[in-house]
Structure 1
Amino acid sequence: MQNENPVWPLVDARAAEFTGLADRVFDTPELAYTETRSCAEHTAMLKQQGFRVTENVAGIPTAVMGEAGNGGPVIAILGEYDALPGLSQQPGIATPQQIADHGFGHGCGHNLLGSAALSAATAVKDWLEAEGITGRIRYYGCPAEEGGAAKTYMVRDGWFDDVDIAITWHPGAYSAVDDMRSLANTRIDFTFTGKAAHAAGAPELGRSALDSVELMSVGVNYLREHMPDQARVHYAYLDAGGIAPNVVQAKATVRHLIRSPDLQGLADLVQRVRAIADGAALMAGTQVSSRVFSAVSNLLENRPLSEAMQAEFEALGPVPFDEADRAYAREIRETLTRADIDDTFRSVAQRPDYDLALFDTVAPLNRPFTGGMGSTDVGDVSWAVPTVQARVATCAVGTALHSWQQTAQGKALAAHKGMLHAAKLMAATARRALTDDMLRAAAKKAHADHLAEFPYTCPIPAETKPPIAAE
């Protein structure tokens, strides 16, 4: 290959080690803040590769950081390894088949995400050592992206204060530099306390906490008509008050997930939801207390970094899938709908190609935004330090994240190829950031300009601790 970036072969040289790491994490899926074995695998790999390792980052037992190099700029590469409930799935087949009673599975590709990030950091470490260049590369092993907001706690506690540039990626059905749009969100647990009573003999003596929860749900549902179009509120009952209908429920808890396109809008919406909770308690004659479980900020695009990563992506080209990869992808595609496939192409603002099995191009950077938005704790890193993120194809066109189809493809050769491709892209972008003083300066200026207009306030209160105990 002409003009081969010197970090690309360093990724290839250790490909078997890091695909093995991804597969081991796939085989031991663990939920937010319980990723003991997954974190141990990443920690062991960091030590094996010669990084200086810091464990228990931000007081979180399943967070780890590895650093290599000395002096100079600090480039962070972010990894994740938490799984999801309800997505246990036999890999390598194209039919839904659960493999574990607990139901956990890597339906968002985080087994690949963390391994590629660590592969990229290792390649940059090896390049720094070979060239004798001053600079530091860090790998952050970040747990609990799925609703636990570990990176938000890490940012709040200062773990990114001396970082110059942060880089990450996410597996998906297409390849592109991320448009860095996401929803800020917070998860708040509302607990209503009432008074138990015999539901038939003396219901007038009771004050139902469950009534309060249901009244709150009604109020929030009426609020939906009066929220901004891109705002969202979801909820789940954590404690419905018990299983005895003949007892007036004295205590009940509901978790509300509140989302908004930016932190300012989130604060306004949270205030309105809290007022509804107070009203529900007043109507039912109960008391309400609340606790912030987690919260994340919206992503900030850093245009200089996005343009730099786009150039590296175009130099690298699309993931080199072969016919065997496409054959399995076609099997998966048969389980998907046209709407699923439409969604992939909507994300890159392209006309749908219903015959395409695996995404075989790199989407342009300047494309109109036509997709929906989720949330990620990478958002808070992007407020703390200039940040860039890629999406790299690892699965069939139309595959939705948080689906059994995503889990089924988690150990496929196509997934491994996409993972290693992402590692090359991140390593090349990190190399550019380490050696290009003008890029770092431009990225920092763009970041500072935004903060001057919209200062950052961590959405998790200072007194709130990471929810490390199983909940």
Structure 2
Amino acid sequence: MPDKSSLLSLAAAIDGMAPQFTALSDQIWALAELKFDEYRSSALLIETLEQNGFSVRRNVADMETAFIGEYGSGKPVIAFLGEFDALAGMSQVAGVDTQQALSPDGTGHGCGHNLLGAGSLLAAITLAKHLKAENLPGTVRYYGCPGEEGGSGKTFMVRAGTFADVDAALTWHPAPFNGVRSTNNLAVIETYYRFKGVAAHAANSAHLGRSALDAVELMNVGVNFLREHMPQDCRVHYAITDAGGRAANVVQAKAEVLYLIRAPEMAQALALAERVEKVARGAAMMTETDVETIFDTASTNLLPNLTLENAIHDNMVALGPVPFDETDIAFAKKIQATFTDEAIKSSIRLYQIKSDVFSNDKIDGSTALHLGLRAFEGQSHFRAGSTDVGDVSRVTPTAQCWAPAWAIGTNPHTWQVVAQGRSPAAHKAMVHAAKVLAATGLDLMTSEKLRDDAKAEWHNKMDGQAYVCPIPADVYPQKH
């Protein structure tokens, strides 16, 4: 970790800039732009980069809202990953403990990416200023990564080669806990199945029709039967994106369903996708319809790097807990009261918040905010979610920390996340994460051994296998 004076210097600099970046986070929270439509959010982040002396490359990897900010020159090159996309149907008033939409069917930051993007940016700018003040060599990059929610923006950036010279990548995520949790998550493939049939009057001439909606329903039934015969850790989810219309007396001539296919390894996901494809073709045969398979996007499973994760944990120990106050705790308790006891206990189990580094107290259901630091076991755990950070981890050593922006019991993609997204507690968690990332970034800049050890672990885990992007070269980002 950095020497004590450097750590204090970084922390003080971040505290000094914190008001500007909490305001930036709140602006992005209010914009709540969906994947690949984050024009105003990305513009705010780019403006902040340029104001702080970064050069910016726009329209990266054929994405209008993707960008890379760079400061310094030469090796090492340390990347900070930022996200800023929101979710549909997540509109919610901030700072309240009841579900209240700001606008019907509106958008909202249900995964805290307003905090994530601003916090990583704060870390990158702070580290860049420190390098300049200390006349240290190296390059700091901030990757503005759009479309994490169902868009795999980072995967497209990796495919474009933008991480080819990066020595290590760092990021963080809002969570109900403070600490490092090494995870093996799931690879994911997202595919649309579009059925085309023949319209007909549902009463007078139904025999002349061929229902695309019947095909979608039969496919869903078939995949549901398939679930019994796939590996235990795989997941398959679907949503009917086009039911063919709202008239019940018409045989629907078109219908579409989106499938997310997840597995511990990309090879398993691809094999499972082939089986789902056969079910789709079978449904088309049964209904005498045609089916078109439209590949949307994909993300590879994460490759944890324990070397970097230990470095992050050491900095978290040195920095101490997030400085929450009684007001923060009181609001967290109100949010927590909207959860069942099982949801709270499940959160503790899911994130394995077993004990606290600073107090050695066992975390239980009476805790509203994580006031300490999760013990780090130095090993990886299974996590059923997916992230396009996985593709970054396949081309350079990558690690992340988690910061307690949410009350314990909060699940991502819920109104409670949005309600807490611009709270003082969330701001404090974001600032704390920025300190951790900046300190770890400085470790990587100044310690050749840390870089070499992280790279050696990465090479060992890749085991000589070259990264293969799961998105075909002729597939481009799609807004949908």
Q: What range is the shorter-chain TM-score in?
A: over 0.9
Q: CA deviation at 1:365?
A: 1.8
Q: Hey, what's the Cα distance between the residues in 1 that align with 2:119 and 2:108?
A: 18
Residues of 2 paired with 1:163 and 1:343: CA distance?
37
> Distance in 2 between the 1:448 and 1:371 partners?
21
- Across the aligned residues of Structure 1 and Structure 2, the Cα RMSD in angstroms comes to 1.6
In the alignment, what sits opposite 1:119? Answer: 122
Cα separation, 2, equivalents of 1:231 and 1:73: 38
Alignment partners' CA distance in 2, 1:102 and 1:333: 24
Offset of residue 151 of structure 1: 0.6
Structure 1 residue matching 2:194: 3-state secondary structure: strand
Residue number in structure 2 paired with 1:348: 352
The aligned residue for residue 467 of structure 1 is 478
Specify the SS of the correspondent of 1:177: coil
**Alpha-carbon distance between aligned partners in 1 of 2:236 and 2:308, rounded to the nearest angstrom:** 32
Task: Name the amino acid aligned to 1:173.
Answer: P
Whole-angstrom CA distance in 2 between matches of 1:367 and 1:96: 38
Aligned equivalent of 1:317, options 317, 320, 326? 320
Q: How does 1:391-406 map to 2 (within 5 A)?
A: 391-406=402-417
Does structure 1 residue 421 correspond to structure 2 residue 437?
A: no
Aligned partners of 1:400 and 1:406 also within 8 Å: yes
Give the match for residue 4 of structure 2.
3
Letter in 1 for 2:4: N
User: In 1, Cα distance between the equivalents of 2:181 and 2:13?
Assistant: 25
2:255 is aligned with 1:252: yes
TM-score normalised by length of structure 2: 0.94
1:437 equivalenced with 2:448 (yes/no):
yes
Q: How far apart, in 2, do the equivalents of 1:458 and 1:284 lie?
A: 35
Once the two structures are TM-superposed, the CA of residue 254 in structure 1 deviates from its matched residue by 0.7
| Partner in structure 2 of residue 104 of structure 1 | 107
**Offset at 1:201?**
2.4
TM-fit CA distance, 1:238: 1.2
The question of whether the paired residues in 2 share the 8 Å contact of 1:166 and 1:385 is answered with yes
CA offsets 1:11-54 (integer angstroms, 9 cap, x no match) = 11211111110011111111111111111111111111111011
Ranges of 4+ aligned residues in structure 1 off by more than 6 Å: 367-371
Kindly indicate whether the alpha-carbon contact (under 8 Å) linking 1:357 and 1:397 is maintained by their aligned counterparts in 2.
yes
Q: What SS does the corresponding residue of 1:432 show, helix, strand or coil?
A: helix
What TM-score do the two structures reach when normalised by structure 1? Answer: 0.96
Which one is further off, 300-309 or 370-379?
370-379
Task: Report if the CA contact (8 A) 1:180-1:389 is conserved.
Answer: no
Shift of 1:428: 0.5
CA contact (8 A) 1:117 1:423 kept: yes
Q: Does 1:30 align with 2:33?
A: yes
CA displacement, residues 268-301 of structure 1 (integer Å, 9 cap, x when unaligned):
1111101111111111111111111111111110
Matched, 1:171 2:212: no
Equivalence for 2:301: 298
**Distance in 1, Cα, partners of 2:329 & 2:379:** 28
Q: Say if 2:306 and 2:379, in contact at 8 Å, map to a contact too.
A: no
Correspondence list, 1:123-202, <5 A? 123-202=126-205
- Name structure 1 gaps, 5 residues minimum: none
> 2:29 is aligned with what amino acid?
F
Show CA shifts across 1:345-394 (max 9, x none).
11125255122121012112217777752111111111111100111111
Larger mean CA deviation between 451-460 and 231-240 belongs to: 451-460
Tell me by how many angstroms 1:206 deviates.
2.0
Is 1:62 matched with 2:65?
yes
Q: Give the 3 Å change call, closer, same or farther, for CA 94–229 of structure 1 in structure 2.
A: same
Say whether the 8 Å CA contact 1:177–1:310 is kept in structure 2. Answer: yes
Identity of aligned residues (%): 47
- CA change 1:153–1:178 in 2 (3 A) is same
Alignment-derived partner of residue 237 in structure 2: 234
2:226 maps to which residue?
Answer: 223
What's the offset of the Cα at 1:71?
Answer: 0.9
Q: Which residue of 1 aligns with 2:388?
A: 377
- Corresponding letter in the other structure for 1:464: V
Offset, 1:451: 2.1
For residues 39-78 of structure 1, give each alpha carbon's deviation from its aligned partner in whole angstroms, at most 9, with x where no partner exists.
Answer: 1111111111111011111111111110001111100000
Structure-2 separation of matches of 1:129 and 1:88: 41
Count how many residue pairs are aligned between Structure 1 and Structure 2: 468
- Counterpart amino acid of 2:196? T
1:102, distance to aligned residue in structure 2 (A): 3.9
Shift of the alpha carbon at 1:96? 1.4
Post-superposition offset of 1:452 = 2.7
Question: Per-residue deviation at 1:239?
Answer: 1.2
**Is the contact between residue 304 and residue 380 of structure 2 (CA under 8 Å) also seen in structure 1?**
no
Matched with 2:287 is 284
CA contact (8 A) 2:32 2:86 kept: yes
Q: Which amino acid aligns with 1:164?
A: D
Q: Structure 1 residues 373, 193: closer, same or farther in 2, change over 3 A?
A: same
Stretches of structure 2 that go unaligned for 5 or more consecutive residues are 355-361
Q: Is the 8 A contact 1:341 1:352 kept in 2?
A: no
Greater shift, 141-150 or 175-184, is seen at 175-184
CA distance in 2, matches of 1:271, 1:51: 45
